[in-house]
């Protein structure tokens, strides 16, 4: 997504470029692209100069959307989604911990945009380590 975000409004990014930049297998990338497309985060551009583009500006795409598209639910235990899964749901101390963990994760992912990750990488790329 960061590779695609870097080229927002500059044209589509092709598979080969993503594979080269991310050093991942073609099959793995294909699964990722299918999931992202199904959640309307990216779209395919066909043709000789085709590839993938974002559906929205990178500042409007959150990491929560991306992680949710790729991983599904982030709940660490079933009882957070289904009270009927455990008889101790209303008195369980561990459930309260898992709920706090889940809420913290979601908050961080929702406030982190794709654009912010591009900016972090850009600032780290521009660091000069010459001595």
Is residue 90 one of the residues assigned to a domain? yes
Q: Are 41 and 54 in contact (CB under 8 A)?
A: yes
Is residue 119 one of the residues assigned to a domain? no
Task: Return mean pLDDT, the chain.
Answer: 92
Instruction: Supply the pLDDT for residue 126.
Output: 57
CATH number (domain holding residue 56):
1.10.10.10
**Other residues' Cβ atoms within 10 Å of the Cβ of residue 83:** 12
Is residue 76 one of the residues assigned to a domain? yes
Is residue 95 one of the residues assigned to a domain? yes
Is residue 130 one of the residues assigned to a domain? no
Region of poorest pLDDT, from 20-29, 33-42, 117-126: 117-126
Region of poorest pLDDT, from 27-36, 37-46, 77-86: 77-86
Residue carrying the six token digits 């600032």:
123
100 exposure class (CB count in 10 Å sphere: 0-12, 13-18, 19+): exposed
**Other residues' Cβ atoms within 10 Å of the Cβ of residue 104:** 10
Instruction: Supply the pLDDT for residue 102.
Output: 95
Domain that holds residue 77: 62-112
**pLDDT surpassing 90 at residue 48:** no
Task: Verify that 7 and 54 share a domain, yes or no.
Answer: yes
**pLDDT surpassing 60 at residue 80:** yes
Is residue 127 one of the residues assigned to a domain? no
Please report, rounded to a whole number, the percentage of residues in the chain having pLDDT higher than 90.
Answer: 78
Task: Verify that 7 and 53 share a domain, yes or no.
Answer: yes
**pLDDT surpassing 80 at residue 129:** no
Give the whole-angstrom CA distance, residue 131 versus residue 129.
6
Task: Verify that 7 and 56 share a domain, yes or no.
Answer: yes
Residue carrying the six token digits 């008889």:
87
Residue 130's pLDDT band, with cuts at 50, 70 and 90, is low
Give the whole-angstrom CA distance, residue 71 versus residue 53.
21
Task: Verify that 77 and 27 share a domain, yes or no.
Answer: no
User: How many domains does the chain fold into?
Assistant: 2
- For residues 28 and 131, the model is more confident at 28
Task: Verify that 55 and 45 share a domain, yes or no.
Answer: yes
């Amino acid at each position: 997504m960061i590779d695609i975000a870097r080229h927002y409004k500059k044209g589509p990014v092709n598979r080969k470029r993503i594979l080269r930049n991310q050093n991942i297998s073609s099959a793995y990338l294909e699964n990722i692209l299918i999931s992202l497309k199904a959640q309307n985060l990216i779209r395919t551009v066909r043709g000789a100069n085709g590839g993938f583009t974002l559906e929205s500006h990178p500042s409007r795409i959150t990491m929560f959307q991306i992680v949710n598209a790729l991983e599904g639910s982030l709940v660490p235990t079933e009882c957070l989604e289904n009270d009927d899964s455990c008889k101790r749901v209303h008195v369980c101390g561990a459930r309260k911990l898992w709920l706090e963990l889940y809420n913290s994760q979601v908050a961080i992912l929702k406030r982190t945009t794709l654009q912010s990750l591009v900016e972090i990488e850009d600032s780290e790329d521009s660091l000069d380590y010459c001595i």
